[in-house]
Amino acid sequence: MMKRILLLLFTISQFSNVAQTTISGKVIDSKNRPVAGASIYLDGTYDGSSSNDNGEYEFTTEEEGLQTLVISFISYETFIKTANVASFKNSTIKLRDDVNTLDAVVINAGTFEAGDNAKVTALKPLDVVTTASAMGDFVGALQTLPGTSTVAEDGRLFVRGGEADETQIFVDGIRVFTPFTPTPNNVPTRGRYSPFLFKGITFSTGGYSAEYGQALSSILLLNTIDEPDQEKTELSFLTVGLGVGNTQKWGRNSLSINTSYINLAPYLEITPSRNEWIKPYQSMSGETVYRHQFKDDSFLKLYGAYSYTELDVVQEDINFDDGVLFGLQNRNLYFNTSYKTKFGNRWKIATGASFTNDNTNIKLANNKIDSNDNSAHFKVKLHKRFSSRFRLSMGSEYFVTHFKERFSPINNTKFNYGFNNNIFASFVETDLFFSKNLATKIGIRAEKTGLLNEFTLSPRAAISYKSGKNAQFSFAYGKFFQNPRAEYLKFHEDFSSENTSHFIANYQSVKQNQIFRIEGYYKAYNNLVKFDTQVPNFTSNFNNNGSGFAKGIDIFWRQNQKIKNTDYWVSYSYLETERDYRNFPVAATPNFAPRHNFSFVAKHWVASWKSQLGLSYAFASGRNFKNPNKPGFLNDKTKTFNSLSLNCAYLIDQQKILFFAVNNVLGTKNIFGYNYRNTPNGNGFFDRQARTPDADRFFVIGFFWTISSDKKSNQLNNL
């Protein structure tokens, strides 16, 4: 009995020793070259090996029957095969390139990305606050990129011959309806939102995805951070105001609150201004973000912002000896919520909604204009990853706008007018990777506009080919529709959408710490709104017969650390554009489109001073204006625009920063255009007045202090 059992046991153990299978083979890549260092193993076991320099591997296993062989290596797709273990012998396995690695092709015609996740970073998150001319405004930093025109008195983004309102801004994929604070003439505006809320910025100067519509020229996508890095209180003291922020984290939640108060009165006391400020610019704003991260990596974000702005100023005007009074009160409420989750087999869903209430009271001379805009956006987007090489996204969105305005002329009856509009849009888009070097994105967008009772279809396509280790070519085409602006819709509704077609060719070469890109484009404008009065009003005759074009070349070069501790970039844009729109009698180059734009930004870190010094220089060729003393339309040019800005950030310690910035340090007298007297003088000559900035120079001194909870605990521990 005992003997038998022992014998049985020995045979079993013998048997299992004998059943050793050798697994061997060779790993090659798509070009049949051996892959060294790949990991080859049987899933769920300890048995495995690495491939040698010839791509060959060999190991033994005691496993039997059906097993899963896995071959994985960084930057290749993982190979998985389930079969009888005996069949894994002398097989040659070809690994497919992983198309999602950093060195794979990127579809990028028209687009600049900033942020940690971007494959190619044109701007870094810190650039927004360390670019000398930007003055802490995220839009200011983007104005140093090619494709934008220098229109210094406006502050918004004028892209490739387009007007500022042809650029739309989105936060977490949801539209922002009133992203800029209102200002009087010739005083540049700023973005309403704090740059530190965003972890990624994508700026597209054309040819963008079918996901985005109602923008003729450009989109700016801002993604908010998912999780703040730490609990902290931030204080800022500036020559023009104060700010307080606080971030709290608990469990899977976080809450950030920022408030700021800006008052230009003290600043205007000590610096000269061309305007007479009765009530200097004053604004109060607050924003709050609540974020919740669910267990399954789903995210909920609620964002709310409120701001109040007021000012009263008398601006010189050649037609009025006492100047013109401009008074403004603006209340703005913005609410944005977004939710993202995954479900099923590699599906993702992102939904969101935004709501804006913007209320503006303007006093112009003795007339009053009160407007109230309620707008909302609802969106749902689905994304399915069929494989790493084929992805599909689709979605629908709905925009609602209720706009009301009342014009109260002095000693006259009031006028009430406005419009209600809704737009329903759907899009579908696919990303296809043919290989690591060739990829395409094709999409289509359909829109139905309630007010115009119009249905439009916009095809979009982009293709990129990586021609070498560092170089790639991209092409993009798209058709873009946008409803006529509120300025027209409030007086007239029988319109079609304005539209553009973009054709873009791009070459990019990226090396470590170095980017070069050159992009050529052609843009055709159609169905632009025309009218036959000085400004649009009830008596204007409107039509959609306008058209135009823009073509040009944009060049960007950035290099970091080639010169020690120095980072710099250079942008140049060449722009040729003409349009026949608004009340233009003939096609002409508009005032906002200088032909040459150049900017240079440099930053140098001086370790011994713990300071970052920054410099930025902007140049633009002369801008067109109408000179009534000469025949023709938009027949004269201003002198060129030059502005040199400097800044310095001194790190007192890890938590305290002293900041100094001055715009146009040389005090160059820049001229944006001219206003002419309505009637000629005695000699039959029209006198003129230059449109100039409120002040030639502008400076800010600030002190930023971050107090974080863990820092406090550190200091206690160290005592």
Contact between 18 and other proteins (CB under 8 A)? no
Member of 17, 31, 116, 679 binding other proteins (CB under 8 A):
116
List C-alpha distances in Å: 28 to 37, 52, 58, 94.
11, 11, 15, 5
Say how far apart CA 84 and CA 61 lie, in whole Å. Answer: 12
Member of 21, 23, 28, 41 binding other proteins (CB under 8 A):
41
Q: How many CB atoms lie within 10 A of CB 630?
A: 8
Pairing of strands 167-171, 218-224: parallel
* Closer residue to other proteins, CB minimum distance, 44 or 667: 44
416 is written with which tokens?
């009430």
For 512-640, list the strands marked E by DSSP: 514-530, 543-560, 566-580, 596-606, 611-620, 624-625, 636-637
Least Å from the CB of residue 28 to other proteins: 18
Member of 29, 58, 103, 370 binding other proteins (CB under 8 A):
103
Pairing of strands 91-94, 21-28: parallel
489 is written with which tokens?
């819709």
In the region spanning residues 503 to 522, those forming contacts with other proteins, defined by CB under 8 A, are 512
Q: Please enumerate in sequence order all residues whose Cβ is within 8 A of that of 496, keeping only pairs 6 or more positions apart, or say none.
A: 452, 454, 527, 544
Contact between 368 and other proteins (CB under 8 A)? no
User: Which residue, among 110, 212, 215, has the nearest Cα to 166 in the 3D structure?
Assistant: 215
Least Å from the CB of residue 474 to other proteins: 19
Contact between 47 and other proteins (CB under 8 A)? yes
Least Å from the CB of residue 606 to other proteins: 12
SS3 225: coil
- In the shown chain, the binding pattern of residues 143 to 182 toward other proteins, with x for contact by CB under 8 A and - for none, equals ----------------------------------------
Member of 25, 125, 184, 546 binding other proteins (CB under 8 A):
125
* Closer residue to other proteins, CB minimum distance, 102 or 586: 102
**For other proteins, which stretch binds (CB under 8 A), given 98-106, 299-307, 396-404, 637-645?**
98-106
Contact between 299 and other proteins (CB under 8 A)? no
Least Å from the CB of residue 528 to other proteins: 41
Beta bridge partners of 559: 514, 568
* Closer residue to other proteins, CB minimum distance, 6 or 86: 6
Least Å from the CB of residue 114 to other proteins: 10
Least Å from the CB of residue 228 to other proteins: 8
User: Which residue, among 246, 288, 243, 244, has the nearest Cα to 263 in the 3D structure?
Assistant: 243
- Which helix H or strand E contains 360, and what residues bound it? strand 347-364
Least Å from the CB of residue 607 to other proteins: 8
Q: Are 284 and 330 in contact (CB under 8 A)?
A: no
Least Å from the CB of residue 193 to other proteins: 17
- In the shown chain, the binding pattern of residues 50 to 89 toward other proteins, with x for contact by CB under 8 A and - for none, equals x-----------------------xx--------------
For 409-453, list the strands marked E by DSSP: 415-433, 438-449
If you ran DSSP here, which 8-state letter would residue 148 be given? B
Beta bridge partners of 572: 555, 598
Question: Measured between alpha carbons, how far apart are the two ends of the chain, in Å?
Answer: 76
Amino acid occupying residue 482: Q
Length of the chain: 719
Member of 83, 606, 651, 701 binding other proteins (CB under 8 A):
651
Least Å from the CB of residue 90 to other proteins: 21
Least Å from the CB of residue 567 to other proteins: 7
Q: Are 254 and 291 in contact (CB under 8 A)?
A: yes
Least Å from the CB of residue 230 to other proteins: 4
Contact between 121 and other proteins (CB under 8 A)? yes
* Closer residue to other proteins, CB minimum distance, 25 or 161: 25
Q: What are phi and psi of 488, to 5 degrees?
A: -95, -45
* Closer residue to other proteins, CB minimum distance, 329 or 509: 509
Member of 37, 266, 459, 680 binding other proteins (CB under 8 A):
37
Member of 26, 94, 96, 199 binding other proteins (CB under 8 A):
199
List C-alpha distances in Å: 376 to 173, 264, 354, 399, 423.
13, 32, 5, 6, 11
Contact between 709 and other proteins (CB under 8 A)? yes
SS3 164: helix
480 is written with which tokens?
């873009």
**For other proteins, which stretch binds (CB under 8 A), given 96-104, 304-312, 540-548, 662-670?**
96-104
Contact between 566 and other proteins (CB under 8 A)? no
In the region spanning residues 532 to 561, those forming contacts with other proteins, defined by CB under 8 A, are 560
In the region spanning residues 373 to 432, those forming contacts with other proteins, defined by CB under 8 A, are none
**How big is the site for other proteins, counted in residues (CB under 8 A)?**
48
In the region spanning residues 216 to 245, those forming contacts with other proteins, defined by CB under 8 A, are 225, 228-232
Burial 574-584 (b: 16+ CB within 10 A, else e): bbebbbbbbeb
Q: How many CB atoms lie within 10 A of CB 21?
A: 19
Least Å from the CB of residue 81 to other proteins: 16
Contact between 708 and other proteins (CB under 8 A)? yes
Binding site for other proteins (CB under 8 A): 1-2, 5-6, 9, 13, 37, 39, 41, 43-48, 50, 74-75, 101-103, 116, 121, 124-126, 199, 225, 228-232, 512, 560, 567, 610, 651, 653-654, 708-711, 713-714, 717-718
